Amino acid sequence: MKVYKTEQVRNITLIGNAGSGKTTLAEAMLFEGGVINRRGEVTAKNTVSDYTPIEQDYGNSVYPSILYTEFNGKKINIIDAPGMDDLCGGVVSSLYVTGLGILTINATNGVEAGTESASRHAETMHTPLVLVFNQLDHDNSNYESSLEQCKNLFGNKVTVVQYPVDAGPGFSSIIDVLKMKMYKYGKEGGKPEVLDIPASETEKAEELHNQLVEMAAENEESLMELYFDQGTLSEDDLRKGLKLGMLDRSVIPVFCVGAKKNIGVGRLLEFISNIAPAPNEKKMIPVISGQEVKMEESGKPCLFVFRTSVESHVGEITYFKVMSGKITEGLDLINTTTGNKERLSQIFVSAGKNREKVDELVAGDIGCTVKLKETKYNQTLTVKDADTKFQPIKFPLPRITAAMKAKNDSDDEKVGEVLNKIRFEDPTFIIEYSKELKQLIVQGQGEYHLNILKWYFDHVYKIEVETFAPKIPSRETITKAAQADYRHKKQSGGAGQFGEVHLIIEPFEEGIEPKKMFKFGDKEQKLSIREEQVHELPWGGKLVFLNCIVGGSIDARFLPAIMKGIMEKMEEGPLTGSYARDIRVYVYDGKMHPVDSNEISFRLAGRNAFSKAFKNAGAKILEPIYNLNVWVRSDRMGDAMSDLQGRRAMIMGMGSEKGLEKITAKVPLKEMYKYTTSVSSITGGRGMFTMVYDNYEKVPTDVQEELLKAYAEEQEEE
């Protein structure tokens, strides 16, 4: 394979709803460029992308497939991204390293949920788009309706470059209003016959051509002057104007294909090779440390890793984009995250599972290597004296949380190992073992996403697992002051144990000073505060410990032991075993024995006195509250609101944003298990939401009783 210069490289991502034909289009692109000599089919499970067992089993893309084709003297790197919204991590990582999104539209369905989702990711990353209407040869194909839906979604940015003459089962001809020619294809597609536009289509074609010229001219003053002088633009000037418009996303060209029969694919590739931005024409990924780099061959060698995967018989495969300089076989680079040296023993270009060895890749190109020691996705490799580190890909926040465990306890350790391997390929999974909940917690993008994990356990690792709603990380606190004392006394021959602690507890609130006197019943207790310790708790909130001992009733050396006993009970609250928080403790009296008193005696006395007081202090359970933003179409607003009200949500506001209705609410985490499924069901897959932790609030009385009952039952089982 020849070495392509930076300006000869094009990087594109195929995005769109599942079933819109991205993988079939990729297959036709590789065939058109001569990379493969026979087009595979998704149903036959023999396509270049979608080659992993899970993808062939599911019948759609699960991971981004990195491909390439050669066309018109250009190398076009193609990433076939997944279409399911649960797999959006692959879309985000792919768009991060490419300069153009090819948004495929199933012309029988028009704008679908995945279309909207993919377009939002492209907008967030400011990636130019080309709309490609596919499956125009289907019985129910409706180009005009699909185009109208796209105009409703994107506005007047949508610019027709092509339209079909005969959409439906007989689809064979495309009018190209940039070239002002008709492309007519045979029954099996392939190379078209280029004809003059028939008289019946001339008026429509000329009108669309004029619109195209106007859109192109608006992107540069000199082009606008030419347009005013000449009344039109040359093909080269049209290309220039379209490229400028695409780069600032003010123009979204429309193309037509029948990917299954390779209709229109060659012309689409021609457009990409001529007009799609070269890597050095797209804004550089930001550098967060080290030397700034320019995307040029003369620069210092530098690459950014955007994906890692594992394949049987191959091992780890590291996919990267060359950000600067030339990358050659045998090159030694430094990982600027770990500081370790890595050697690129071999370099490949990838066409799915097929990889071709190359000696060199230049700035802007995409390739892969194998058997790096420690380098993972989102890391930078560069020469030693550059120390450049690129801004990492920001993956979407998780939308579903579940607990997972092996059905056979002996497999628990294996489950954790497997999950970490899978996360290596899909960073949108977040895996952690919660010491607080004593559960293995898995976070992902939705139920479909979690089902992928289940597939691996069932088919690859042969481990039976189950997922279920995780425990809620509740907190415990108190609502009023209470007093208690406890004497720990133990005598079993030899040395005994003795310690007595008297204490008062009250709720801690910022800005409220400690009290000097309490009254319980008819008895008043005056306090003399000698020392205050404020402990910021790792799980949130504070414990304030006040030494009010006078007259030496407890020796100062035993106070740390009392504090330790109290902290033990803070870590395992008296109500449900959850962490306690926001409590002020006054230790004001006690007794000790000259021989039998020791640290363990006072630790146990302090622990038990605290527990006793806690239960009399109006103990309440706190639950985590999240700030929730939900975006839905206006016709689904009522259903979305009703669903939230059933989840104890407090609606904070409503408005419009991104062409959707936005609901802002505060909602308990306990009520949000599988909310992603509900949103999808209510909105037909078109809704979206984000959740961010806000604070802890007291649970309603009925919920507290339910939690106490559940905890009691759990303790009985244990």
Domain CATH for 99: 3.40.50.300
Q: Which of 464, 630, 465, 453 is nearest to 87 (CA)?
A: 453
Question: Within this chain, do residues 421 and 464 fall inside the same structural domain, yes or no?
Answer: yes
The kind and range of the H/E element at 244 are helix 235-247
- Is 219 within a domain? no
Question: Within this chain, do residues 169 and 29 fall inside the same structural domain, yes or no?
Answer: yes
621: its two tokens: 């359970």
Question: Within this chain, do residues 135 and 26 fall inside the same structural domain, yes or no?
Answer: yes
Q: For position 517, what pLDDT does the model report?
A: 95
Last residue of a domain, one of 369, 390, 411: 390
Distance CA 586, CA 356 (A): 73
HSE-CB at 135 with a 13 A cutoff on CA atoms is: 20
Last residue of a domain, one of 443, 468, 493: 468
| Predicted TM-score of the model (pTM) | 0.89
- Is 59 within a domain? yes
Max distance between CA atoms of the chain, in angstroms, equals 114
- Is 216 within a domain? no
CB 327 within 8 A of CB 309: no
Question: Within this chain, do residues 483 and 520 fall inside the same structural domain, yes or no?
Answer: yes
Question: Within this chain, do residues 69 and 109 fall inside the same structural domain, yes or no?
Answer: yes
Q: Structurally, how many domains does the chain consist of?
A: 5
| CATH number where 334 lies | 2.40.30.10
- Is 395 within a domain? no
Q: Which of 211, 277, 216, 209 is nearest to 245 (CA)?
A: 216
| CATH number where 514 lies | 3.30.230.10
Last residue of a domain, one of 390, 410, 438: 390
Instruction: Tell me, letter by letter, the H, E, C secondary structure of 632-697.
Output: ECHHHHHHHHHHHHCCCCEEEEEEEECCEEEEEEEEEHHHCCCHHHHHHHHHCCCCEEEEEEEEEE
Distance CA 637, CA 653 (A): 13
Distance CA 112, CA 677 (A): 17
DSSP states of 5-61 as a string?
A: PGGGEEEEEEEESTTSSHHHHHHHHHHHTTS-SS---TTTT--SSS-SHHHHHHTS-
Question: Within this chain, do residues 538 and 587 fall inside the same structural domain, yes or no?
Answer: yes
- Is 357 within a domain? yes
Sheet strands (E) in 84-188: 100-106, 129-134, 158-160, 162-164, 173-176, 181-186
Distance CA 93, CA 386 (A): 24
- Is 1 within a domain? no
- Is 709 within a domain? no
Give the domain extent around 457. 400-468
- Classify the phi-psi angles of 339: left when phi > 0, otherwise alpha if psi is within -120 to 50, otherwise beta: left
Question: Within this chain, do residues 502 and 431 fall inside the same structural domain, yes or no?
Answer: no
**Pairing of the two strands 158-160 and 252-256:** parallel
Q: CA–CA distance from 181 to each of 177, 421, 592, 639 (Å)? A: 7, 52, 101, 49
| CATH number where 680 lies | 3.30.70.240
Q: For position 713, what pLDDT does the model report?
A: 84
Question: Within this chain, do residues 541 and 610 fall inside the same structural domain, yes or no?
Answer: yes
Sheet strands (E) in 521-659: 523-526, 531-536, 542-547, 579-580, 583-591, 620-632, 650-657
Q: For position 493, what pLDDT does the model report?
A: 67
3-state secondary structure of 490: strand
Question: Within this chain, do residues 609 and 637 fall inside the same structural domain, yes or no?
Answer: no
DSSP annotation of 514: P
Q: For position 718, what pLDDT does the model report?
A: 63
Question: Within this chain, do residues 62 and 197 fall inside the same structural domain, yes or no?
Answer: yes
| CATH number where 419 lies | 3.30.70.870
Tokens 């499970």 -> residue: 45
Q: CA–CA distance from 369 to each of 320, 372, 593 (Å)? A: 8, 8, 72
Average pLDDT, rounded, for the chain: 93
* Regions of the chain short of the pLDDT cut 50: none
Helices 599-615 and 559-571, axial angle in degrees (round to 10):
50
HSE-CB at 343 with a 13 A cutoff on CA atoms is: 2
Q: Is 135 exposed, middle or buried (0-12, 13-18, 19+ CB in 10 A)?
A: buried
Q: For position 78, what pLDDT does the model report?
A: 98
Helices 235-247 and 221-230, axial angle in degrees (round to 10):
140
Question: Within this chain, do residues 191 and 154 fall inside the same structural domain, yes or no?
Answer: yes
- Is 439 within a domain? yes
3-state secondary structure of 604: helix
CB 301 within 8 A of CB 333: yes
Question: Within this chain, do residues 540 and 585 fall inside the same structural domain, yes or no?
Answer: yes
3-state secondary structure of 125: coil
